Structure 1
């Protein structure tokens, strides 16, 4: 089963019994958020297509990624494929990176163009994702930006997911946290006191949304990885302004720029840890152009107390980068389960090469680009323990952990500021639990002191005399 865009994937979901269509008219609030909350709690969590939303012209789809069945279908696997099997299938596809995109003319996303009188409320069926959000939020956008120092470098272009608060007809708030790639681009633009052009792409091929929320390296392309996962190139086109590379088959693209050196209140917003993140000063985006398909589908994402769609979306795409970074330095690592709250909790299975190996693996994970700010609880288990099987993990915790030597806390570390337990926001105490079977050290500890070699005193005097004779010769030569 192959698909090139959201519409073709929805057809696959429907064929597989993983899509429900609602033809009755629904209210934007509270109906849309309630549907987004209910769908992932259903058996096999289907996607939900809402044809009519009161007060709006266009349809909405929710929970596209919101079950392991939908996730498997996105990867081109049978929907019954287990999480562990999906992990290894994704890792295998990862090795095909990069598969370069192709650029196309007459892209479907350019069917309708709006360059004047921008009004987001006429195009997007907007709603509050949770009751006490500070406003309407766009929570499932692929946002494209370029490195101002190297705008023609395709690998430095970023396609990331960042929350957007609608503040006016053409004005949005955005949350670019310091460890995000777009924050690097914004910092460079603001050093020049220049706006940062961006393209906000909505309703995408689900693999593109998957990759835009994946913590890959700065010099890696989300589009190249998406091609590797799909086994074929992604179709791109150019933005109307700014020369940005955007998905040719997105439903809607909002083009604009981040206003430099201005910060306004953004939030609160119900975030992925299951709590409201509060309000803070954040940049704003001005929209100047909208392009979209005829009768575009608005895709948004519900976030709440896990599990919701975002937990499926940010699950295996967090596991694989951490797994590959660990395995590069610690080849004994077998698998990484970082599906809990975007990797704030991680379980790693590994064979221990030597005593204390589990703690070394954990500390390496906490120094990775994603593990550093996000991960705060790391559990290490033996290679024969399936990290995706919590019954086996609990067995390891209850039979392998000696609290006085296997539990380590590291205070004052970088943390995820959206985590309500961080104090102050963005700081954590990290927890390592080594639940591996103890391995004896290679050698017993020796305490017998080394004796001074015989004739040491003789050679000490010999060397001193030799130095003095050479020093005298040099002094004599300097007087000639």
Structure 2
């Protein structure tokens, strides 16, 4: 029996995937990072809300990147729930429970000496002649309309200027010039946004590090949001719990902040106070980049990071993702599931069977809740569970409620339940005028006169569960249980 591979950084994650058939492919064909790379992976394995044709497929490494002699790009590392389960060493169907348990048992990061930090094997200072972050960091564009090259898998790390609390989140980061990167903040949804506003009110820059190419456990943990992880809760503690080992940080070289010690790339910089640019200042397309709902986001006036240095490992591997891909579903959706599980289990233990943040919602907008009614008085509690889900994750728009005999991971089965166990006049519950997410293009006064401001939605619950007193009328067809060993060769997936 081969020894189990331990994952502690991006390279060990890729080694694990390479050892499992069908989980990782590589190519030496030259690829242009401007649109072509994403265009290829759209067909190979993007999935999610990407326009068809697309599919779930393997992660991919591009070894021959036009314009970058020594760099490679890995994409799709998390673009499969099965792959995330493999990387986190757990059942893919139980990932939400696994993460919820890690939130309850946080393990804080530790700081190691710079001499042991692999991320600083090669150092480029911004005041050196010829420095250009665009030539050092091979950030792809997803489409030909993008505002510029985007870092899509950058772990942004900063600290509260008042009390020193630190946090990590993922933002869209556009390379604007040789030493400037724009940073988009979803209003009111990220801890780093609070830190930036505090620093700006003081008239001070906010030191920030961007670590690219890290342990997938960090990338998943960074997807948590309040109220599950309130202001002051560093999500690196969740990654530590997932690995049963603290995340290792090290001191940055040019700013008073830390970065992830074994990252492939680190960008050190400062978020400047009261300085904003349009994301598309170089292209004038009016577009930013493709976002998780499946549409290209509009270019915004956004804050700017002044880059102080770029450090990286020898022969670094850039990590990227396609905005609307299954990779976003994993990073946003699995923490969403964990947050909802935690909230419902506290309120009504023993009834929740599972939660699934479906790809059609990009991991944020749509969840399916599998609920078991044990006694007559449980009737109606399923709808209470849906209300709790909205409380657990404010950006959620639609909740589907299904019984325990429905496979919540199969949207065809969910739609079957909706077809045969749902009546619109009785089982649809609408909650208008609630803040949701500004990247939903239907959440706009232009789309509906009932919406007062961009980002407000009518949230909805679709109760596709059978009334408790009618369960006998809704028994699914029962097939014979077979000897799976006898028929194993025909049952292979």
What TM bracket, shorter-length normalisation?
A: 0.7 to 0.9
8 Å CA contact retained: 1:39, 1:63? no
8 Å CA contact retained: 2:167, 2:192? yes
8 Å CA contact retained: 2:220, 2:332? yes
Q: Secondary structure at the match of 1:295?
A: coil
- Say if 2:405 is the partner of 1:405: no
Task: After TM superposition, give the deviation of residue 143 of structure 1 in Å.
Answer: 0.2
Q: Secondary structure at the match of 2:467?
A: coil
Q: How does 1:65-84 map to 2 (within 5 A)?
A: 65-77=78-90, 81=91, 83-84=92-93
CA distance in 2, matches of 1:84, 1:8: 23
Task: After TM superposition, give the deviation of residue 87 of structure 1 in Å.
Answer: 4.0
CA distance in 1, matches of 2:30, 2:245: 38
8 Å CA contact retained: 1:314, 1:339? no
8 Å CA contact retained: 2:100, 2:338? yes
Alignment correspondent of 1:167: 176
8 Å CA contact retained: 1:142, 1:200? yes
Count of residue correspondences: 426
Q: Secondary structure at the match of 1:28?
A: coil
Q: Secondary structure at the match of 1:260?
A: strand
8 Å CA contact retained: 2:140, 2:320? no
Task: After TM superposition, give the deviation of residue 400 of structure 1 in Å.
Answer: 2.7
Matching residue within 101, 109, 115 for 2:109: 101
8 Å CA contact retained: 2:78, 2:326? no
Matching residue within 192, 205, 208 for 2:202: 192
Alignment correspondent of 1:129: 142
Query: More deviation in 414-423 or 217-226?
Result: 217-226
Task: After TM superposition, give the deviation of residue 29 of structure 1 in Å.
Answer: 2.9
C-alpha distance 337-289 of structure 1, shift in aligned 2 (>3 A): same
**CA-to-aligned-CA distance 1:397-440 (integer Å, 9 cap, x gap):** 22332322221112111021111111142111111112223358
- Say if 2:44 is the partner of 1:23: no
Q: Secondary structure at the match of 2:358?
A: strand
C-alpha distance 20-7 of structure 1, shift in aligned 2 (>3 A): same
Higher alpha-carbon Rg:
1
- Say if 2:311 is the partner of 1:301: no
- Say if 2:366 is the partner of 1:338: no
Unaligned runs of at least 5 residues, structure 1: 441-480
C-alpha distance 265-426 of structure 1, shift in aligned 2 (>3 A): same
CA distance in 1, matches of 2:82, 2:423: 38
| TM-score relative to the length of structure 1 | 0.83
8 Å CA contact retained: 2:157, 2:168? yes
- Say if 2:44 is the partner of 1:39: yes
Task: After TM superposition, give the deviation of residue 348 of structure 1 in Å.
Answer: 1.1
Query: More deviation in 236-245 or 105-114?
Result: 236-245
Matching residue within 3, 18, 21 for 2:7: 3
**CA-to-aligned-CA distance 1:164-191 (integer Å, 9 cap, x gap):** 0111011111111122111111111111
Q: Secondary structure at the match of 2:391?
A: coil
RMSD (Å) for aligned C-alpha atoms: 2.1
C-alpha distance 404-193 of structure 1, shift in aligned 2 (>3 A): same
Q: Secondary structure at the match of 2:290?
A: coil
CA distance in 2, matches of 1:339, 1:64: 18
CA distance in 2, matches of 1:322, 1:162: 23
Query: More deviation in 114-123 or 251-260?
Result: 114-123
- Say if 2:65 is the partner of 1:53: yes
Q: Secondary structure at the match of 2:321?
A: coil
Q: Secondary structure at the match of 1:200?
A: strand
